[in-house]
Chains A and B, each alone.
Chain A
Amino acid sequence: MTKHLLRLYIAGRTPAADRAVHNLEQLAVEVATADLVIQIEVIDILERPQLAEDERILATPVVIKQLPPPIRRVVGDLSEREKVLIGLDLRVD
Chain B
Amino acid sequence: MQVTMTTASDNAVIPAADAAEESTNKQPIATGIEGLDFVLQGGLPAGRPTLLRGAAGTGKTVIALTFLCHGIAAGETAVFVTFDEAPEALLGHAEGFGFPARRYLAEGRLRILDMRPDRNEVQVGETIELTAILARIGFALDSLGATRLVLDAVDGMETGYADLPSLRGELTHVFDWIRDRAVTCLITVGEYADFSTRYGLEDYIADCVIALTQEVSNRVMTRVLRVVKRRGAAHGSNENPFLLDRGGIFLVPVTGSVLSAKVSDARLSTGISGLDAMLGGQGPYRGSITLLSGQAGTGKTSIACSFARAACEAGLSVLYISFEESLDELIRNQRSIGIDLDRYHRTDGRSVDGLGALLLQPVRAVELGLEEHLMRVIRSVRQHRPALVILDPVSGLAGRSRDPVAKEMLLRLLYLIKEEGVTTVATELLGDDSAGVSHLDVSSIIDVWIKLRRHENDGEMNRLITVVKARGLPTSDQVKEFRMSTEGLRIVDPYLGESGIVYGTARMARQAEDEETIDQLHIELERAHQLRAELSEIQAANERLARAEHEVKTADLDRQVAQIERRLAAIERTRAAIGRGRA
Q: Which A residues lie at the B interface, using CB under 8 A?
A: 9, 11-12, 14-17, 19-20, 45-46, 49-50, 52-53, 56-62, 72-80, 83-84, 86-87
Contact = CB atoms under 8 A, between A and B. Distances in A.
10 closest A-B pairs by CB:
A87-B122, A76-B125, A11-B131, A49-B139, A77-B125, A59-B128, A76-B124, A79-B125, A12-B7, A73-B121
Dominant SS among interface residues on chain A: mixed
A57 B124 contact: no
Nearest to A56: B114
A15 B125 contact: no
A66 to B, nearest CB: 15
Contacts of B129: 11, 14, 16-17, 59-61
A58 B160 contact: yes
Given A11-B7, A12-B7, A58-B157, A73 B122 contact: yes
Contacts of B135: 11, 45-46, 49, 52
Contacts of A20: 125
A75 B122 contact: yes
B539 interface: no
Contact of A16 (B113, B115, B127, B138): B127
Interface string B122-158: 1111111111110110111000000000000000010
B133 A58 contact: yes
B25 interface: no
Most buried by A among B10, B118, B135: B135
B5 A14 contact: yes
B164 to A, nearest CB: 8
Nearest to B139: A49
A14 B3 contact: yes
Given A56-B118, A78-B124, A16 B3 contact: yes
Given A11-B131, A60-B131, A53 B139 contact: yes
Contacts, number: 117
Nearest to B10: A46
Interface residues of B, number: 36
Contacts of B138: 49
A52 B126 CA distance: 21
Contacts of A11: 5, 7, 129, 131-132, 135
B444 interface: no
Contacts of B133: 58
B96 interface: no
A58 B54 CA distance: 24
5 contacts: A12-B6, A58-B115, A59-B130, A73-B118, A80-B125
A60 B5 contact: no
B117 interface: yes
A12 B5 contact: yes
B222 to A, nearest CB: 36
A13 to B, nearest CB: 9
Contacts of A46: 7, 10, 131, 135
A29 B113 CA distance: 36
Nearest to A12: B7
Contacts of A49: 135-136, 138-139
Contacts of B195: none
Given A12-B5, A87-B122, 20 more contacts: A11-B129, A12-B6, A12-B131, A14-B5, A17-B129, A46-B7, A49-B138, A50-B139, A52-B139, A53-B113, A58-B160, A59-B170, A74-B121, A75-B121, A76-B126, A77-B125, A78-B124, A79-B125, A83-B124, A86-B122
B218 interface: no
A12 B121 CA distance: 21
Contacts of B7: 11-12, 46
A52 B136 contact: yes
